[in-house]
Structures are given as structure tokens and as C-alpha cells.
Amino acid sequence: MNPYVFYAAPLSLYSGKARSYLRKHGIDHVERSVGDPRFAGEVLPQIGRLIMPVLETPEGELVQDTVDIIDHLETKIAPERSAYPRTATQRVVAHLLEMFGGEGLLRPAMHYRWNFDEVNMPFISEELATALAPAGGREVREQVFEWAGGALREATVAVGVTERSVPEIERSYEEFLTLLNAHLETAPYLLGGRPTLGDFGFMAPLYAHLARDPQPSLIMKRTAGRVWRWVERMNSPAFDAGEYIDYPQQLFADDEIPATLRELLAYIGEEHVAEMLAQVSFMDRWFAEHEDSDEGEVFAYDVAKRFLGMATFAWRGQEMSVGVPPYRMLMLQRLQDAFAACSEEEQRVVRALFHEVALEPLLDARPRRRVARAANREVWGAREEASLLA
């Protein structure tokens, strides 16, 4: 059987999430650059936009988006190795961590990549140009970097990185590293002895941007050695946890969420809830303004920029404005759907935990329409009763 083909790039944030899953589960695959002529000639016309990663199955099917890629691969592995915890609280927490990794850590990821040109740019310019135009000459690669780098700098501002917000972004990231490092002193992965959705979600920003780029890499190595080792571990097909001395390769027993992880969850509550509530409110207003759209209809916006508009909220004593991607609602829905699938008693336990760490609003806040995916695009979903808590 042919191997999977993984179209990605080492510096791509979301590629790191799916690549880690492929490696940790020993799935036979080859990685190709999105600058590969076959990507432009055969894959891109089917996907409809320049985006990565994309997974091509041995049967020739194309799967785009890390959630879809992981869910496709989940059908190929043993159930006991699933990225989805079997127990209720850990399953909902894994969804929360996945969402925060891929969405909530975008500010430090983009800041530390694009605001330290003297240190980063010799590395980043070569990485980006090589990924998009591996066969191009020096002039072509410089043009490619100028085009792609300009778009990514605009995206950096759109996630809330401004001159005013930078000091707090750096303080926030330092706090995050301290909390995550303390938790990883107790276990090799976020929920114990094997990776789950939360680990793969965290790999998105923590590998390509924050562990590979020169400036943030030094910060991580100097201040959070356990986090650095976790990044190495998440890229290894082996368990790679010798420093944990005979640690069992299983999740915390009895659906436990230990104190060190609860402290990290409380940090996420402070950092991310206000932003998510502002995004839910924006999406509800946007849905109301386009109420005649049918279920399954593709969102009418510039998919290259990801955002429908801007939402504003209070963050660390200042007003923050960020772009609103419909994809963010998909991630919130996954968390809420996992919660809804719990029994009444399980929901009581989960809600108590989320209340304790100031995350409870994320279990309930929703706009009047769902977001779905079809043909590798975000599309209008079913109607539901809005719950606006902002």
C-alpha cells in the first residue's frame, strides 16, 4: 500500500499538530513541501486555496484541516491509543486544551515570530521561501517571502499583536511557560502518560513558532526546559520519557485533573474566556445580518484572510481587537458537543471543574447558527438557540 502524503512545512503552525500525530502513531507517510509542483498542479485545484497541511490518503482522498486529519487517522489506530480520552472530564478538558493551543496561543506565536527581525529573519525568510518555492532561484524566493511575509505580518496584527499589547503578551507567555513547565515536571504529557488532543493542539504554536524560531526558542530553553523536552517528545515516535522513571503509558487514573493542570486551566480561563465570548457575540450578530443563508452554504468572505470582522474585549487591563474566523466556532462546538455527550452526573463534575477555573461560560456560549465544514471550507450549519453570555 502507498504511504500517506503529508503536504506541509516545518515552519507551519498547524502542520506541527498533524505531523506530531503521524509520528507518535507510527503512521507510514512521506512529507512534501507545498511548493512541490504536484501540490500546485493536483492538490491545490481540489482544495481551492493555498493552505496547509493537507493529507493525501493511500486511496487518493485529500483531507485538509488538522481536526479532519486526526479524525481520519483515528480510524487507523488501536482504540487504546486514541487521542480522545475515554473518560468524560479528561475528554472535555482535552478539547479545551486543543482549542486553546490552536487558537488561544496565536498571539505569542505570531509576536515572537514577526517582531524580532534581527534575530529571526535570517532563519524565517529562508524557511518560508524554501517551503513555498523550493526550486526557485534567489530572486524568486525573495519575491515569495515579500508576498507571504507581508500577509503574515497583517495576520499578526489581526490576532491582537500591537505595540501597546506586546508587553502584556510577553508577560502572559512567560506565565504560561511557567505553569506548563510545572505541570510537565509531574507527567510527560498533558493528561498523563500518552498524548491526547490537548498535546497535539499545543504542538501547533509550541513547535513551529515558539520552539524553532530563534528568539522564542532561546526563551523556552532558558526558562522552561520541561516544555522544550515535551516538544522533542511530541516529535518522537518513541515514548521518549526516560526522565520520568517507569512512568505508565496511560492517562491519569480515575479521570483525574491534577492540581498543576488545574492551575493551567485557571490561566486559560483568565486569558481566553472574554475573547471567546466576544467572538460568539460577533458571530451571532453576523448570522443575524445574513439570516437568509442556507445550511451548507459556504461563508462569503476572503478565506485567505480567515476573518469575518473584528471583535473587541477587555484583556489584561486594555482593550483588545482581534479578527473573528468562523473556524473558531467549530472548535468551541467540539468542546460543547463533548460536554453534551456526557451523562448528567458527568456533566455535573465537568461543570464544577470549569466553574472552579473560570471556564464555565465556554460550556454554554453559542451563536444562533452552527458552523460546519464541507469540501474543505467552513459552511453555514444548523440553527440553534443562541446563548450569549458576554
Residue 25 lies in a domain: yes
Distance CA 298, CA 308 (A): 13
Which residue range forms the structural domain that includes residue 272?
259-383
pLDDT bin (cut points 50, 70, 90) of residue 50 is confident
Say if CB 266 and CB 360 are below 8 A apart.
no
366: helix, strand or coil: strand
Q: Once rounded to an integer, what is the mean pLDDT over residues 241-248?
A: 96
- 264 grid coordinates: 493551567
pLDDT bin (cut points 50, 70, 90) of residue 304 is low
Three-state SS annotation for 15-36: HHHHHHHHHHCCCCEEEEECCC
* Residue 225 and residue 349 share a domain: no
Last residue of a domain, one of 225, 255, 285: 255
Task: Report if pTM > 0.75.
Answer: yes
Distance CA 287, CA 361 (A): 20
- Edge to edge, the sheet with strand 62-64 lists 29-33, 4-8, 54-56, 62-64
CATH of residue 77: 3.40.30.10
Last residue of a domain, one of 81, 100, 115: 81
CATH of residue 227: 1.20.1050.10
Residue 390 lies in a domain: no
Q: What pLDDT digit, counting tens, does each position of 274-292 carry? A: 999 999 999 999 999 988 8
- The number of distinct structural domains making up the chain is 3
- 116 grid coordinates: 524580532
Q: What pLDDT digit, counting tens, does each position of 168-200 carry? A: 999 999 999 999 999 999 999 999 999 999 999
Q: What pLDDT digit, counting tens, does each position of 192-206 carry? A: 999 999 999 999 999
Q: What pLDDT digit, counting tens, does each position of 323-342 carry? A: 999 999 999 999 999 999 99
pLDDT bin (cut points 50, 70, 90) of residue 303 is low
Residue 18 lies in a domain: yes
